[in-house]
Amino acid sequence: MKKLFLIGGMGAGKSTARKALTDEGLAWIDLDQVGHEVLGWDTVKDDLRGAFGDDIFDESGDVNRKALAAKAFATPAATRKLNTITMPRIEERYTDLIDGFEAEGKPAVVVEYSVFRNRQSSLAYGADVVMAVLAPLEVRIERAVKSGFSEEDVRARIARQITDADRIEASDVVFNNDGTPEELRNEVLAWWNTYKSCC
């Protein structure tokens, strides 16, 4: 089963590219969703409580992601602490999902990876293809704000991510999403039809 990793900054158009492929019947893993899922595991909650305190939980005992982010992204050391707790669990869940899709006989899986940094020290080391979706910065900010984020939050998140130059360097395929969603969709499908016939 081919593992197609989809990377790109906030508002770049990863979801549009992913949907083009999943509409073709490909399986899909969103690592953001997996990350949110593991925050509900009791073992993870216990570790987070020990590292960041009781005030990152809401009244019902669930992790308040905003409160966790405020503490976990305050310093590089705190971010490393968070990653030490969550990354092994995310990897475990990812492996289970991959095994499940392989057992179902899926030809390929699209892995949406918004916090990608490099291929060597991440889940992407097992990628068959890394695809980057790029768009001009101001366009990305505008799209993200339209989807409900504040401009300040969007700019802060983008500042923590790698640059488009880094993404291009790490990628096998680059899609420039500076046109319409339909144009991006057609570009992704044209690439997929060529790729699946040759590889």
For the chain, the domains span 1-26+109-199, 28-106
Domain 1-26+109-199 has CATH 3.40.50.300: yes
Rounded CA-CA distance 185/96 in Å is: 29
Q: Which residue has the tokens 């900054």?
A: 9
Give the pLDDT score at 40.
Answer: 96
- pTM recorded for the entire structure: 0.88
**Residue 52 CA from chain centroid, whole number:** 24
- CATH architecture of the domain covering 28-106: 3-Layer(aba) Sandwich (3.40)
Q: How big is the chain by its Cα radius of gyration, in Å? A: 18
Give the pLDDT score at 2.
Answer: 95
* Kind plus residue range of the DSSP H or E element containing 2: strand 2-7
**Residue 63 CA from chain centroid, whole number:** 20
Same CATH topology for 1-26+109-199 and 28-106? yes
Rounded CA-CA distance 4/101 in Å is: 13
What is the block-wise mean pLDDT of the chain (199 residues), using blocks of 10 residues? 94 94 96 95 97 96 92 88 94 96 95 89 90 94 88 83 93 94 96 91
- Asked if 183 and 141 touch (Cβ cutoff 8 Å), the reply is no
> Positive or negative CA dihedral for 152, 161, 195, 30?
negative
pLDDT in tens, 62-80: 999 989 988 998 888 998 9
